[in-house]
Structure 1
Amino acid sequence: MEKDALYNALIKDISHYIKSESNINLITRAYEVAKIKHLGQMRKSGEPYITHPTAVARILAELEAGPQTLVAALLHDTVEDTDYTLEGLEKDFGKDIALLVDAVTKLNKIQFKDTRQTDNQQKMLLAMAKDVRVILIKIADRLHNMRTLDSMDPDKQIRISKETLDIYAPIAHRLGLFRWKAELEDRSLRYVHPAMYYKVSNLVKAKKEERENSINNVIAYIKDLFKESELSNFEIKGRIKNIYSIYKKMINSGRDFEDIYDLLAVRIIVDKVETCYQSLGIIHAHFTPIPKRFKDYIAVPKPNLYQSLHTTVLHSDGTLFEVQIRTKEMDKVAEDGIAAHWAYKENKVYSKEREQFEMMSRLKWYADLMKMTEDKDDQGENSEEFVETVKTDIFSANVYVFTPKGEVIELPSGGTPIDFAYKIHTDVGHKTVGATVNNRIVTLDHELQTGDVVSIKTNKNSSGPSEDWLKIAKSAHARHKIKGFINKTNQEFTYSTGKDLVERELVANKRNDELTDEWVRINFEKLSITTLNDLYLEVGKGNISVKTIINKLMPDLTKEQLLKRQIERTARQLIATSETGVVIEGLSNPQIKLANCCTPIPGDTILGYVTKGSGIVVHATHCINLNQYDKNRLIPALWADNINRKYPTWLKIKGTTRNGLLTEIIQVANSSGINIAEVSAVTNQELESIIKIKITLKEKRELDTLVVNLQKVPQVYYVEREII
């Protein structure tokens, strides 16, 4: 095929980094196939369709993308828009290129008519996690479409532009593709908010000459300063912020155009890191730095690998401008993002797996995305939850804090120690009881700031997160983990309650039946209950009565007999109750006492232990001392229904040593209607307050309520029932 101007322009763009004849031939063959397959097809602009895939390939060539990526870009619309089949493409160009084209084709079918269409957003994110080259092709495809959007209908212009701002620009930003991001944003703003676009654009143009003169004067002055300091091998450039960035600052901060600090920026590019800091010293020595406007992204790079020193200074003529100082390598990354690190080199062996590993090792957020996609199904996340997590925790994250070992953890704005803990590990989050920030104890709702050093205090005996944490956590990941824990805990409590009710009813009816899944299936399958665990859950929820189970076990008893047995049982509980409130079936006046070690209270499941001379000692089934006893001496025990007394038990509380903590704990107990009999408080070697309170109450529900209320007290780490 005769080579045309489009082809020649493409080859010229790639010739500086792709020189292998076999690679050039591969790209040439792909161009020829694309041109033949799209022959006769025209774009809305009136141009031959081949101009689009060629333009996409040339945009990717700016990043020095590899031959396979360029071939996939040239062919990315052939399977969808022509008679070229995926099987034919694989035969002609290989499996890897076919997979790339197939993935891009599937993404092409996604339309975000409503940005809440999370199923489609999820597909985009999953495709990026699977192979980042797919997204690079798609962003390049979108960039060229935005450049030619004038030919589309107004409705499509607005829809595509909104979609670009919501999806494509944030991904470009996260990949460090700042030039692409800025162009996508500016072109989108022109269609979404044309009035604001032209307003800002005209304001920028109105004083363009004045600003350019100002920047040029500053650059000339800085060059003289550097020469006086005997600095050489540097480059200084000036720029004005892109239109969308100015627009966002005006909207978010409510400022006028003239009040935006960093409209003007001077970029200083030097040869090494030490010179960056030397340059900063010279700038601050001769200009007035604006407080709180200095950022060191060299020591702490942004998650998209961006590195630079930023400072905003005031010139003697009253002009405010931002200075960015970085090395040549940093400048390359600032321009091309991650692509600067894996730009194609013909002397290296390339594979999709190697490039993915490169991405994960360099971009922590990308590794987080990979993990999210792997965990998605295990966690049972739906598409809305998954997309919310990615958007909130990855695309919107802009607070950077440190672990005590210096690892950078990225959190969304307003992130708290709870978000930090769950970012470290789910188990750390679940067992969190306190936090320190910059060596100072803080509450769990403390708002973290960039640069904070955060340490999490955990306790293996912690009862886990409460529903109050859902109001504190800002990251979708933390909220999802907290909800999962609470749902699981509630289910376990419901299961335990149901099992206890069934077992008590079996004892009350003197039944020794061993219930099985098969028995449950035979008797309850019509109710969609097929396992014993499901049965316990339904009983715990109150959906199935324990009487129904007994009726199934004892079908020969008449209703009159069942009623008689129930009346007899109630009568026994009413009259065969010792002063402890405990009933032992078959004993009318047993000698009973409550164990001092576990101090059981109504609501605890209990067992009686027959001693050799002291009657029956009743323990809560959670008592660790039961493990030491002869199992043959353990007998069933129940609480009576007519208890009218209070029972003592102990609580152990850990917290900080802040003044007033003990007083607040006592107030919470009193406001819950619970009497305190004894109190002791000590401080341990870790400077924690350990408070023990002996309380009296009627039943376990009162205790559960008190524990929940105590856990809400600021700087209380955890509350647990004490076994002496």
Structure 2
Amino acid sequence: MPDARRFGGFASGGAPEADTTAEAAAPLIAAHRRVFPLADAGLLRHAYAVADHWHAGQMRKSGAPYITHPLAVAILLADIGMDTTTLVAALLHDTVEDTGLTIGQVKAEFGAEVAVLVDGVTKLDGSKWGDHAEGETFRKMILAASIDLRVLVIKLADRVHNLRTLGHHPKREKRERIARASMELLVPFAQRLGLYDFQREMEDLAFATLAPEAHERVRTLLREAEDERRAALGELITGMRAELAATGVRAQVQARPRHLYSIHRALPAEASESGGRLRPAETARVVVVVEGTEADCYVALGALHGRWAPVDDSFRDYISMPKYNMYRSLHTAVLIGGEPAGVLIRTRAMDAVATYGVAARIREAGGRDGKVSADLARQADLDWLNRLLAWQPLAAPGDFLDGLRADLSGGGIVVFTPAGVPVKLPEGSTAVDFAYTVSSATAGSAVGVLVNGMRKSMENRLAHGQVVDLITGPYADPPDSWLAAARSGHARTHLKAAIASRMADEASVLGRAAAAKQAAALGGDLREHEDNGTAFSVARRLGFADLDALYEAVGRDQLPVVEFLGHLGIAVSQA
């Protein structure tokens, strides 16, 4: 990044570095230097001063000066170990949208990387895009994230802080709309980027807005279970530490509380609504962080299962088969006092990814000065993001947001081709989704599927770890029923296009038949006008790309038959 301290002269009439800047930016600099001790404090002070200058006079709904928001967002990002460039962009992230500062000015002052990040999180103009503004803004953000993933990380920190201050919005409808959109779109992004701290906080804050009574009940249940949890899990943790030490495995063992929304989702409806009690194991999970290699994780697993009985069907190996968001751990559950307690086993490096997600790569590569290479920061090698990028150009503005919600909702699964190639899919995916993920070009010719060697229909839901083999036929004509079975935006977009194309063909056939029949009744011959080019000329004159498009309009009753024939001269000369 170039030395960005030239701001005093352009466009603003000067952005004075006020005496208060150093004091205001101090918490950000302190948080950043806890991870990167040699980070450029002067650059952060300067970016803060620029943001403060352009947001001068603007206030938040809370009554606080607007600058408190970008500063809070930057501190959130500093706390998870993001690099200096990201923090500069976070400080400036609302300037282009809400002030007179332009992207060109940001680029000239702070460099191209900062400009890409700021532009990526800047909303599109609602007056120009209307009802499609939100969907097209997300489309733009995803495209920007394919260049630099830090765009999404900034957006998530921005939403976390907005949810923290959501109570200051005077209208309940707007608070609920923001909370719901956060649950449907931003929480899944956080999950896919492995930013679990952001995910948990967004879920709890949105939960409090959308279901305040249930939120308070879970808080009460959790508080009432605290002493019992400490006693029960404390005894288990002490025993696990001793068992691992005796096996020769060095590890840290601790209980990590589950967040409120996670507990709420796991509770039976009656317990969440009417009270009851929480069992200790429902409030937290035991995390074993091994000081060693992947192999040591399996040694630890064997030691724990040798001492405590594992719960049937509780084991998941996300080390040999990582989740779609880089997450790796062994999951199991053991019985304590007749109740299952969840146990996660991972190395220290895996724990960093489980805590910081994509930010872990930044923390590791940033050295001591908080600078990372553009190639590393821009790397977009996540399968779920590649899937979005593959189908988003095909989605119409009105369909994109629905497809995005479908692709992001729930978690993810991994299935395998017969050759052992892993295929990552959204949770709840069917063989239809598998077919379009493997090959959009040939998916429509599938007539069935073998799942673990057993014949299933294309509408069959798939489960994590299954082996899936498509059975194909000679024709590519996906039935309409596949659309209801498809889970992923990728499959749904291709199916909608295929169904629309088929309907267009059917309408075109009907339209031509109607035109030919009417022409014959009037004593004319439609084929003659097609053969000599007159019909095509009329189609182009009426604004259609070809005769098929014109006949489709006739078949859909969008162009009256007599009007078309009149342009051919049939209705007039032959009537």
- Bin for the TM-score computed over the shorter chain: 0.7 to 0.9
Stretch of structure 1 that moved more, 185-194 or 255-264: 255-264
Residue in structure 1 matched with residue 256 of structure 2 by the alignment:
239
Identity %: 30
Residue in structure 1 matched with residue 48 of structure 2 by the alignment:
31
Residue in structure 1 matched with residue 179 of structure 2 by the alignment:
161
Q: Which amino acid in the other structure matches residue 390 of structure 1?
A: L
Residue in structure 1 matched with residue 8 of structure 2 by the alignment:
none
Q: Which amino acid in the other structure matches residue 355 of structure 1?
A: A
Encode CA deviations 1:219-273: one digit per residue, 9 max, x unaligned: 11011111221222x1111122111111122267977653696433110011211
* Structure with more of its chain in helix, by fraction: 2
Residue in structure 1 matched with residue 4 of structure 2 by the alignment:
none
Encode CA deviations 1:597-624: one digit per residue, 9 max, x unaligned: xxxxxxxxxxxxxxxxxxxxxxxxxxxx
Question: Would you say 1:298 and 2:319 are equivalent positions?
Answer: yes
The 8 Å contact of residues 324 and 413 in structure 2, kept in 1 or not, is answered as no
Q: Per chain length, whose mean CA-contact separation is higher, i.e. which structure has more relative contact order (CA < 8 Å, sep 6+)?
A: 2
Of the candidates 271, 285, 309, which is equivalent to residue 265 of structure 1? 285
Of the candidates 312, 319, 327, which is equivalent to residue 347 of structure 2? 327
Instruction: Return closer, same or farther for 1:304/1:93 CA change in 2, 3 Å cut-off.
Output: same
**Correspondence list, 1:511-590, <5 A:** 513=528, 515=530, 519-520=534-535, 531-534=546-549, 537=552, 544=561, 548=565, 552=569
Of the candidates 69, 85, 90, which is equivalent to residue 73 of structure 1? 90
Residue in structure 1 matched with residue 330 of structure 2 by the alignment:
309
Q: Distance in 2 between matches of 1:188 and 1:318?
A: 34
Of the candidates 218, 228, 237, which is equivalent to residue 200 of structure 1? 218
The 8 Å contact of residues 83 and 362 in structure 2, kept in 1 or not, is answered as no
CA-CA distance at 1:397 after TM superposition: 4.6
CA-CA distance at 1:365 after TM superposition: 0.2
Q: Which amino acid in the other structure matches residue 407 of structure 2?
A: D
Encode CA deviations 1:47-93: one digit per residue, 9 max, x unaligned: 44433322211111123222221111112233445554544433322
Instruction: Return closer, same or farther for 1:289/1:524 CA change in 2, 3 Å cut-off.
Output: closer
Of the candidates 493, 499, 505, which is equivalent to residue 486 of structure 1? 499
Q: Which amino acid in the other structure matches residue 186 of structure 1?
A: D
Residue in structure 2 matched with residue 170 of structure 1 by the alignment:
188
Of the candidates 5, 11, 21, which is equivalent to residue 29 of structure 2? 11
The 8 Å contact of residues 239 and 265 in structure 1, kept in 2 or not, is answered as yes
Larger radius of gyration: 1
Encode CA deviations 1:183-224: one digit per residue, 9 max, x unaligned: 111122223222211211111111212211222211110111
Encode CA deviations 1:565-584: one digit per residue, 9 max, x unaligned: xxxxxxxxxxxxxxxxxxxx
Q: Aligned pair count?
A: 540
Question: Would you say 1:436 and 2:450 are equivalent positions?
Answer: yes
Unaligned 5+ segments in structure 1 are 560-724
CA-CA distance at 1:422 after TM superposition: 1.3
The 8 Å contact of residues 520 and 529 in structure 1, kept in 2 or not, is answered as no
Q: Distance in 2 between matches of 1:149 and 1:487?
A: 41
Encode CA deviations 1:16-62: one digit per residue, 9 max, x unaligned: 454567x4332221123233444565545454443332221111112
Q: Which amino acid in the other structure matches residue 368 of structure 1?
A: R
Q: Distance in 2 between matches of 1:514 and 1:217?
A: 90
**Correspondence list, 1:473-512, <5 A:** 473-492=486-505, 495=508
Of the candidates 355, 362, 365, which is equivalent to residue 384 of structure 2? 365
Q: Which amino acid in the other structure matches residue 330 of structure 2?
A: L
DSSP 3-state at the match of 1:485 = helix
**Correspondence list, 1:90-239, <5 A:** 90-106=107-123, 119-131=133-145, 132-153=149-170, 155=172, 157-232=175-250, 234-239=251-256
Instruction: Return closer, same or farther for 1:110/1:227 CA change in 2, 3 Å cut-off.
Output: farther
The 8 Å contact of residues 58 and 66 in structure 2, kept in 1 or not, is answered as yes
The 8 Å contact of residues 416 and 474 in structure 1, kept in 2 or not, is answered as yes
Q: Which amino acid in the other structure matches residue 333 of structure 2?
A: T
DSSP 3-state at the match of 1:284 = helix
Of the candidates 355, 358, 363, which is equivalent to residue 377 of structure 2? 355
The 8 Å contact of residues 387 and 490 in structure 2, kept in 1 or not, is answered as no
DSSP 3-state at the match of 2:477 = coil
Encode CA deviations 1:286-341: one digit per residue, 9 max, x unaligned: 112211222111121111111111111112x3343110001111100000112212
Instruction: Return closer, same or farther for 1:293/1:94 CA change in 2, 3 Å cut-off.
Output: same
Q: Distance in 2 between matches of 1:530 and 1:438?
A: 48
The 8 Å contact of residues 518 and 531 in structure 1, kept in 2 or not, is answered as no
**Correspondence list, 1:536-685, <5 A:** 537=552, 544=561, 548=565, 552=569
DSSP 3-state at the match of 1:190 = helix
User: Structure 2 length as normaliser, TM-score?
Assistant: 0.82
Q: Which amino acid in the other structure matches residue 6 of structure 1?
A: A
The 8 Å contact of residues 515 and 565 in structure 2, kept in 1 or not, is answered as no
Instruction: Return closer, same or farther for 1:431/1:151 CA change in 2, 3 Å cut-off.
Output: closer
Q: Distance in 1 between matches of 2:346 and 2:62?
A: 41
Q: Which amino acid in the other structure matches residue 405 of structure 1?
A: A
DSSP 3-state at the match of 2:345 = strand
DSSP 3-state at the match of 1:325 = strand
Q: Which amino acid in the other structure matches residue 499 of structure 2?
A: I
Encode CA deviations 1:89-132: one digit per residue, 9 max, x unaligned: 3332234323433443426x779xxxx96640341243133133
CA-CA distance at 1:368 after TM superposition: 1.1
Q: Which amino acid in the other structure matches residue 205 of structure 1?
A: R
The 8 Å contact of residues 421 and 432 in structure 1, kept in 2 or not, is answered as yes
Instruction: Return closer, same or farther for 1:477/1:397 CA change in 2, 3 Å cut-off.
Output: farther
Q: Distance in 2 between matches of 1:35 and 1:7?
A: 11
Encode CA deviations 1:119-154: one digit per residue, 9 max, x unaligned: 403412431331332332222122223334454436
Encode CA deviations 1:490-546: one digit per residue, 9 max, x unaligned: 44455567768989999x989994736852266677866674444555677796389
DSSP 3-state at the match of 2:441 = helix
Unaligned 5+ segments in structure 2 are 1-17
Q: Which amino acid in the other structure matches residue 140 of structure 1?
A: A
Residue in structure 1 matched with residue 441 of structure 2 by the alignment:
427
Residue in structure 2 matched with residue 464 of structure 1 by the alignment:
477
Of the candidates 449, 457, 467, which is equivalent to residue 463 of structure 2? 449
Instruction: Return closer, same or farther for 1:531/1:50 CA change in 2, 3 Å cut-off.
Output: closer
